[in-house]
Amino acid sequence: MSDQDCVPDSDSAASPLDVPADVPPTDAAPPSEPPRRNFLVQALAAGLGAVVGIIPASIGGLFFLSPLIRKTGAAGDFIPLGLSVDGLPDDGTPQRVTVRADIVNVWNKSPNQPIGSVWLRKIEGQVIAFNTICPHLGCAVDHRPAEGDFYCPCHTSAFDLDGERINDIPPRGMDSLDVDVRDGQVWVKYEEFRGATSEKVPV
């Protein structure tokens, strides 16, 4: 095993054509086991090697977890619908109302955008609200005045006017939402829920 094979001497420029034919250095025959190195050197080398890898990787990893560490956008506040209680029919006929709110998209904020819609009913002066999203698979639930029910055109889910299901297609009744009346105006705590489960779980 000769070092000269793989290491040209430093004056090879003077006789460049004498460069020996390439002999792959160490892989032809397994080299003799290197002498046992001082354990300290091995530990240090491994330790420092790990440090220079772990530091950037963990900084990057924490940065990646930023959505968990820095929560943005507190959801679930009451939103005014721009509609007074008096504006709802007294006979309890459902009214569909668009919910508008500021949409925050990471660094952008778009004021007063439609974010969903709700069915509102007034019963003896009390207002109840349902999300129009069908708890089955997320289509928009319609009101059928003739049948006097709520009906989803996608998979024929049907609900009575109190939101209870009247067939077995939806897994649960319509999702009711909290309503607040402030100075005669209707406010709704707009939320969306996971579809296709019997439990009402906010998304």
Sheet holding 185-189: strands in order across? 78-84, 185-189, 179-182
Residue 37 within binding range of other proteins, rule CB under 8 A:
yes
User: Nearer to other proteins by C-beta: 73 or 125?
Assistant: 73
Which region, judged by CB under 8 A, interacts with other proteins, from 3-11, 80-88, 116-124, 125-133? 3-11
Residue 74 within binding range of other proteins, rule CB under 8 A:
no
Among 75, 84, 96, 104, binds other proteins (CB under 8 A): 104
User: Nearer to other proteins by C-beta: 56 or 125?
Assistant: 56
CA 52 to chain centre: 32
* Phi then psi dihedrals of residue 88, to 5 deg: -90, 145
The strand pairing partners of 127, in sequence order, are 122
Among 28, 29, 52, 201, binds other proteins (CB under 8 A): 52
Residue 181 within binding range of other proteins, rule CB under 8 A:
no
Question: Per-residue b/e over 37-55, b at no fewer than 16 CB within 10 Å?
Answer: eeeeeeeeeeeeeeeeeee
Provide the pairing of β-strand 142-144 with 149-151: antiparallel
Which spans of this chain sit near other proteins (rule: CB under 8 A)?
A: 3, 6-8, 10, 12-13, 16-17, 19, 22, 24-27, 30-31, 34, 37, 41-42, 44-46, 48-49, 51-53, 55-57, 59-66, 69-70, 104-111
